[in-house]
Structure 1
């Protein structure tokens, strides 16, 4: 399963790996969630392209999106049979760049989040299926789901499903929908080889979508240590005995007006 994931590699590093023609600039994201726009790599007319899509697939035949369940994952075992995925598997296979993802382990009714990433520290390419939904007024929405498969034995303690990751040597096979039929592409929807991924427990701060920063990736022990090292300000009223008068507050120095930042990096999210 994949319900939250991370992109920390630079735009240029991802462009070199996936070889798309555009040169997008986007910030690192540490807590990407469903319904948000995410980077996707497609191949059209022999060239690879970078595109933003909503995470949550909407088949073209859906009349009212409000009545269609949010589909963020596609089970690889049934993508050929499910009407929601058949057309995308044949015509719009894609890759979703990532640097890791989160999984929640059920430990006696308590959900413990873990960050999972490649052992070699390199970016990951999730296998994706894309569809363009067209509304009654002509509006279009590009959407995507991430393919999942059975977890290997070593990862089942976390969850019984994992996102399908495509090796760089197989990018062309997965992306070239014109030359590679669905049956051939299906051969890539397999579990990761033993030892490819490593993981560690992280803070439950990741549970809140609004939290987005590198501290989310820290192992729990390091995250707790970092929090403990921060000085805790004490209230003046608590530090002075009740029998003694409180000291008069010191006059505050006027704060200088901030200089507008020159931030040339736009957000694609």
Structure 2
């Protein structure tokens, strides 16, 4: 799964990396991004790429209660094209969720050890995501979920699942391909190559989403 990550880059770096022309309104870096928070995402509106904030935890347009979002922070990439909650989003509402590392907790003998995990050869990257718009009694929510897959060789010792990290040359294609069948979007994800990752231990300080400072990423000595 993916339940916590970071985005520490400055705004200009993000704009340049993803080819965004407009400033990001209310951009704030974060050491500890958690479900239920607003997260920086990029969509393509048919004409251009746009960066803005979506709430992490998908609330499908048909949902009766927005609380369902807390159960839908992730979607399995292997089956999202078949699931009622996700298959139409796979076709038309794909997004990039911008990050520069993510956390995962490795089960030890007595407790879980948090680790910070990053690509080995680049600072910024994007998770493959899905988004939707929900309306009820005049309230509107724009929410998202992060796609996950089975762990690669590196991640298997840490956790059996991992987020889908889009290769640098595939991120645009995920959002600019236009309408696709859910099966076509699924095939795209299945065709992605896995890049090298690196990890180091961090303190249990990161376990609380209330903590959001350099202590979250400080290497554990």
Instruction: Judge same fold: TM > 0.5, yes or no.
Output: yes
C-alpha distance in 2, partners of 1:58/1:186? 21
Unaligned runs of 5+ in 1: 222-269
Alignment pair present for 1:184 and 2:184: yes
Q: CA deviation at 1:109?
A: 4.1
Per the alignment, in what secondary structure is the counterpart of residue 168 of structure 1? coil
Q: Which residue of 1 aligns with 2:33?
A: 32
The two structures have a TM-score, normalised by structure 2, of 0.93
Q: CA deviation at 1:138?
A: 2.5
C-alpha distance in 1, partners of 2:70/2:39? 19
Per the alignment, in what secondary structure is the counterpart of residue 173 of structure 1? helix
Per the alignment, in what secondary structure is the counterpart of residue 199 of structure 1? strand
Alignment pair present for 1:206 and 2:206: yes
Per the alignment, in what secondary structure is the counterpart of residue 50 of structure 1? strand
**Number of residue pairs matched by the alignment:** 219
- Whether contact under 8 Å (2:57, 2:70) holds in the other structure is no
C-alpha distance in 2, partners of 1:80/1:180? 11
Q: CA deviation at 1:131?
A: 0.6
C-alpha distance in 2, partners of 1:113/1:63? 35
C-alpha distance in 2, partners of 1:68/1:14? 27
C-alpha distance in 2, partners of 1:67/1:169? 33
Unaligned runs of 5+ in 2: none
C-alpha distance in 1, partners of 2:23/2:218? 30
Q: Which residue of 2 aligns with 1:46?
A: 47
Alpha-carbon spacing, 1:9–1:157, altered in 2? closer, same or farther (3 Å): same
- Whether contact under 8 Å (2:205, 2:215) holds in the other structure is no
Q: CA deviation at 1:180?
A: 4.3
Q: CA deviation at 1:167?
A: 1.7
Alpha-carbon spacing, 1:68–1:48, altered in 2? closer, same or farther (3 Å): closer
- Whether contact under 8 Å (2:116, 2:200) holds in the other structure is yes
Q: Which residue of 2 aligns with 1:115?
A: 116
Q: Which residue of 2 aligns with 1:197?
A: 197
* Larger-gyration structure (1/2): 1
Map 1:138-157 to 2 at 5 A: 138-157=138-157
Q: Which residue of 2 aligns with 1:13?
A: 13
Q: CA deviation at 1:67?
A: 5.8
Per the alignment, in what secondary structure is the counterpart of residue 120 of structure 1? coil
Alignment pair present for 1:79 and 2:98: no
The two structures have a TM-score, normalised by structure 1, of 0.77
C-alpha distance in 2, partners of 1:67/1:215? 31
Per-residue CA deviation, residues 63-111 of structure 1 (Å, 9 max, x unaligned), is 1223665200000011011111012111110000000000001112411
Per the alignment, in what secondary structure is the counterpart of residue 183 of structure 2? helix
Q: CA deviation at 1:29?
A: 0.4
Alpha-carbon spacing, 1:29–1:83, altered in 2? closer, same or farther (3 Å): same
Q: Which residue of 2 aligns with 1:126?
A: 127
- Whether contact under 8 Å (1:173, 1:185) holds in the other structure is no
In angstroms, what is the RMSD of aligned CA positions?
1.7
Per-residue CA deviation, residues 92-134 of structure 1 (Å, 9 max, x unaligned), is 1000000000000111241110000111242111000001111
Q: Which residue of 2 aligns with 1:255?
A: none
Q: CA deviation at 1:61?
A: 0.6
